Amino acid sequence: MILLKKKTEFSDDEFARYWLEMHAPLAKKMPGLRRYVVNVVKRPPNREPDYHGVVELWFDDQASMKKAFSSPEGAATQKDTGAFTSGLTTMYIDEHLIT
């Protein structure tokens, strides 16, 4: 899971549009990617959100994830991330489904 901050020169709509129309087609080509979920954060009233997006990248295991990001498709995805984001926070998650 990765938390994304948009570049300041992007409006909220421009950020979402770039992510969905330009970046997502690159990212979904990464080998071993089982699920790719884009979550665009809605602006809270009267303030800038801490993050503008959350992406969920699902792989079978950590080795598959490393292979994906070291592939040419992964390198292109990482390079393009800088085109519309000003910062990232990456979290490696073990999901525990309760209900």
Distances (CA, A) of 48 to 5, 18, 43, 45: 11, 19, 7, 8
What domains are there in the chain, each with its CATH number? 7-47+57-87 (3.30.70.100)
Confidence of residue 44 (pLDDT cuts 50, 70, 90): confident
Centre a 10 Å sphere on the Cβ of residue 88 and count the other Cβ atoms it contains.
15
pLDDT digits (tens, 9 = 90+) for 55-97: 999 999 999 999 999 999 999 999 999 999 999 999 998 889 9
pTM: 0.90
Q: Do 31 and 71 meet the contact criterion of CB atoms below 8 Å apart?
A: yes
Distances (CA, A) of 51 to 15, 43, 60, 71: 12, 9, 27, 27
pLDDT digits (tens, 9 = 90+) for 18-37: 999 999 999 999 999 999 99
